[in-house]
Amino acid sequence: MVEIKTADELNKKFLREGMWPTIFCNGCGHGVVLEYTFWALEELGWDMDNVIFASGIGCSSRLPGYINADGLHTTHGRAIAFATGIKAANPDFNVIVFTGDGDCSGIGGNHFIHAARRNIDITVIMINNFIYGMTGGQLAPTAPLGSIATTAPYGNIEHPFDISNLACALGANYVARWGVSHPYQPIKSLKEGLQKKGFSLLEFLAPCPTAYGRRNKLGDIKKHWAWYDNNTILKEDYEKIMKYGTEEEKAQVKDKMQLGVFQDIQKSGFFESYEKLVNRLKEKETKTKGAKK
């Protein structure tokens, strides 16, 4: 195998021909998440014939279209349910779902919580940009309080959804949240999540300068990206400051969004348990047959 060293080589290997240009705007974070995913897959060395992508509706859900692999671009919010079926048909597949905050935590919330609860062996990569970008900037369930959206012209008064926190509560095997301006931790984390048996969620905070940044006066693309760096903090740092920091330090980080691995456990995944069930039935039947003889 030729070792891939540059992003160009990586793209040549993983991108699907004939789908360019992408639909993404300048300054969008989605391409970065795709690139991280490619690096993770490259480092894992998986056979791409066996990696299946599913997605719903929204900007992030267009990502599978750019990947040279099987991809199912489904209906709004339903990708995780479709992915459950794909994995059920052949548990040897590595199934990856690309979804957005609206797709996953809004219309698709029910499928998300039940897939996490069942510990379905899929990896969900949720790109959270606080907004319905594709449809022009409507309010998302993840939008911070006060956010301006076309459907919240006077500021958002709803409390935002913390989807990683929810996934932890549901007992998902692997839950992590990252940004898009520091590649090493997220790529390492993606590898962990992809390899994990059971449900894994990787949430990415990604800028949407067009629909969110512009409306919320977060400045140009550069400033908008910097806003994420200034408003996020590594989970470990956050915990340290909250434990040992001064009141002033605590006040500074209190409202920042935490990044890091929030959950990494080994509960039995759905298909592992299902296989055990099938084998248990087989054994029981063999025993009964033996007894009759």
Point out which residues bind another protein (CB under 8 A): 16, 18-19, 48-50, 52, 54, 64-65, 68-75, 78, 81-93, 110-111, 113-114, 118, 274, 277-278, 281, 285
Smallest separation (angstroms) from another protein to the CB of 117: 9
Cα distances from 257 to residues 8, 150, 155, 230, in angstroms, run 32, 24, 20, 10
Q: Which is nearer to another protein, 3 or 92 (CB)?
A: 92
Smallest separation (angstroms) from another protein to the CB of 71: 5
Gap between the Cα atoms of 12 and 57, Å rounded: 26
Q: Which is nearer to another protein, 18 or 45 (CB)?
A: 18
Smallest separation (angstroms) from another protein to the CB of 84: 5
Tokens of 249: 């330090």
Q: Which is nearer to another protein, 64 or 102 (CB)?
A: 64
Q: Which is nearer to another protein, 23 or 44 (CB)?
A: 23
Strand partners, 52: 70, 95
Q: Which is nearer to another protein, 46 or 227 (CB)?
A: 46
Smallest separation (angstroms) from another protein to the CB of 93: 6
Residue 56 and residue 103 in contact, taking contact as beta carbons nearer than 8 Å: yes
Gap between the Cα atoms of 206 and 153, Å rounded: 22
Residue 94 and residue 46 in contact, taking contact as beta carbons nearer than 8 Å: yes
Smallest separation (angstroms) from another protein to the CB of 265: 22
Gap between the Cα atoms of 123 and 121, Å rounded: 7
> SS3 of 24, please?
coil
- In three state form, how does the secondary structure of 121-187 look? CCEEEEEECCEECCCCCEECCCCCCCCCECCECCCCCCCCCCHHHHHHHCCCCEEEEECCCCCHHHH
Q: Which is nearer to another protein, 94 or 189 (CB)?
A: 94
Residue 162 and residue 145 in contact, taking contact as beta carbons nearer than 8 Å: no
Smallest separation (angstroms) from another protein to the CB of 212: 24
Q: Which is nearer to another protein, 64 or 207 (CB)?
A: 64
Smallest separation (angstroms) from another protein to the CB of 65: 6
